């Protein structure tokens, strides 16, 4: 086992496509005849700028980003955006609406409270975030500067199946389902995503912003957090996370060979169904999320017996399926099946679950 790759069900950082890792390995010490690694290259060099521009163009193409919106790369992961969003968009004494459908929206709303008034537009906390609030339940505030939601709740295993209709510009944390399906970017004022699930190694967030929303930051906003500056300097006001952007470029080329986001949408639904079918026909396992809110990226389930859950996670690791232990907020198990998880990994996990059930009746 030690020399083989395993099926890594980690919620993030998570699996990258094997061919991407192999290309990166091949190019590691001498990229394209430059005599150096991408890690060693000036971000202002012609060779690196070509990688940067190609990656940005391919991301624009993959998500059909309209010309009204700009793509920026920012360090600090998704959490950095929890602060950057209110600092840039709330304005003086501003109000923002937050839909609380899980942990990360909660954390983001607490951060936003430092800079203005936060209205909790909806919350699924009453049933431990096992469901997604309906459109009719969203309480929108007149004059809100933006409406915030998290499209996929990585910890609880729930996913928004609709894009909220809101009067205020829509802001979305898409960290754990970006590039898994087509998205109507034009409906969003701002989309951000930490890259460490479906895009690249950790260390960066992709931000897609309606250019009209830039330039309204609070006066004390750190320059490093300003969307306006990032747009003006094309994400290069300081040294960008060069290698992460290069890896994103490789992932986007791989995505293209898989039929792009439309190809991923078909695949992710098929992969998720394999595990949900096991859960729905099992007498031992049950899914944590309500059926109509189930995430195709993070499948949460449990046996109802903590010791048995621990036994499952341990035996799964020994069998080559790692990182299946659920988050402490939910318990049980979580199988994160992002874009790079092959179908056979999911099929083998399903077979392992059935086998485990047969042995632990
Ligand atoms: C949906 C979502 N938002 C935000 C975060 C926080 O991301 P980061 O660790 O990049 O700050 C995560 C991390 O897993 C996440 O899943």
Is position 12 within any domain? no
Upper half-sphere CA count for residue 313 (Cβ side, 13 Å)? 21
Residue 35 burial (CB < 10 Å; 0-12/13-18/19+)? exposed
Q: Which atom of ligand 1 is nearest to the CA of 152?
A: 1
Q: Which atom of ligand 1 is nearest to the CA of 107?
A: 4
What local confidence, expressed as pLDDT, does residue 361 receive?
A: 83
Is the pTM higher than 0.85? The answer reads yes
Q: Which atom of ligand 1 is nearest to the CA of 102?
A: 1
Residue 143 burial (CB < 10 Å; 0-12/13-18/19+)? exposed
Residue to mutate, 176, 200, 323, 334, ligand 1, most ligand atoms under 8 Å from C-beta = 176
Is position 249 within any domain? yes
DSSP code of 92? T
Q: What are phi and psi of 339, to 5 degrees?
A: -50, -40
Out of 241, 257, 273, a domain closes at 257
Is position 111 within any domain? yes
What local confidence, expressed as pLDDT, does residue 77 receive?
A: 97
Is position 316 within any domain? yes
Q: Which domain holds residue 70?
A: 21-257
What local confidence, expressed as pLDDT, does residue 4 receive?
A: 86
Check pocket membership of 12 for ligand 1, CB cut-off 6 A. yes
For residue 31, give the CATH number of its domain: 3.40.640.10
The answer to whether 71 and 95 are in contact (CB under 8 A) is: no
Is position 182 within any domain? yes
Distance (Å, whole) CA 209 – CA 361: 52
Is position 10 within any domain? no
Distance (Å, whole) CA 114 – CA 223: 18
Residue 293 burial (CB < 10 Å; 0-12/13-18/19+)? buried
Residue 349 burial (CB < 10 Å; 0-12/13-18/19+)? buried
**Looking at the structure, do residues 123 and 174 belong to the same domain, yes or no?**
yes
**Looking at the structure, do residues 250 and 278 belong to the same domain, yes or no?**
no
Distance (Å, whole) CA 63 – CA 206: 12
Instruction: Express each pLDDT in 176-190 by its tens digit.
Output: 999 999 999 999 999
**Looking at the structure, do residues 56 and 109 belong to the same domain, yes or no?**
yes
Check pocket membership of 104 for ligand 1, CB cut-off 6 A. yes
Upper half-sphere CA count for residue 237 (Cβ side, 13 Å)? 16
Check pocket membership of 293 for ligand 1, CB cut-off 6 A. no
Check pocket membership of 154 for ligand 1, CB cut-off 6 A. yes
**Looking at the structure, do residues 185 and 283 belong to the same domain, yes or no?**
no
Q: Which atom of ligand 1 is nearest to the CA of 77?
A: 10
**Looking at the structure, do residues 233 and 335 belong to the same domain, yes or no?**
no
Q: What percent of the chain has pLDDT over 70?
A: 99
What local confidence, expressed as pLDDT, does residue 2 receive?
A: 61
Spans in the chain with pLDDT lower than 50: none
**Looking at the structure, do residues 220 and 87 belong to the same domain, yes or no?**
yes
**Looking at the structure, do residues 26 and 87 belong to the same domain, yes or no?**
yes
> What's the number of domains the chain is made of?
2
């Amino acid at each position: 086992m030690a020399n083989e790759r395993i099926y890594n069900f980690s919620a993030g950082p998570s699996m990258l496509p094997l061919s991407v890792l192999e290309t990166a390995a091949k190019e590691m010490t001498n990229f394209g005849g430059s005599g150096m690694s991408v890690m060693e290259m000036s971000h202002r060099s012609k060779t690196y700028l070509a990688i940067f521009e190609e990656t940005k163009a391919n991301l624009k193409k993959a998500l059909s980003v309209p010309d009204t919106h700009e793509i920026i790369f920012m360090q600090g992961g998704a959490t950095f955006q929890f602060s950057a969003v209110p600092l840039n968009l709330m304005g003086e004494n501003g109000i923002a609406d937050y839909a609380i459908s899980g942990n990360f929206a909660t954390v983001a709303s607490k951060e936003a409270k430092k800079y203005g008034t936060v209205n909790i537009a909806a919350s699924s906390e009453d049933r431990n975030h096992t469901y997604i609030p309906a459109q009719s339940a969203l309480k929108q505030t007149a004059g809100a500067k933006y409406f915030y939601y998290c499209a996929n709740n990585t910890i609880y295993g729930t996913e928004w199946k609709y894009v909220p209709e809101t009067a205020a510009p829509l802001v979305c944390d898409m960290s754990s389902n970006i590039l898994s399906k087509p998205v109507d970017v034009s409906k969003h004022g701002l989309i951000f995503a930490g890259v460490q699930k479906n895009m690249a190694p950790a260390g960066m967030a992709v931000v897609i912003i309606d250019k009209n929303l830039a330039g309204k930051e609070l006066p004390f906003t750190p320059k490093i957090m300003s969307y306006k500056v990032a747009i003006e300097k094309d994400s290069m006001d300081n040294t960008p996370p060069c290698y992460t952007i290069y890896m994103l470029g490789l992932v986007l080329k791989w995505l293209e060979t898989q039929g792009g986001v439309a190809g991923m949408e078909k695949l992710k639904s098929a992969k998720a169904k394999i595990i949900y079918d096991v859960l729905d026909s099992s007498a031992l396992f049950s899914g944590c999320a309500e059926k109509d809110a189930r995430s195709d990226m993070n499948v949460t389930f449990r046996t109802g017996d903590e010791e048995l859950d621990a036994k499952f996670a341990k035996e799964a690791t020994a069998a080559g399926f790692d990182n299946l232990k659920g988050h402490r907020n939910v318990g049980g198990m979580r199988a994160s099946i992002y874009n790079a998880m092959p179908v056979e990994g999911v099929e083998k996990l399903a077979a392992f679950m059935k086998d485990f059930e047969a042995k632990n009746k």
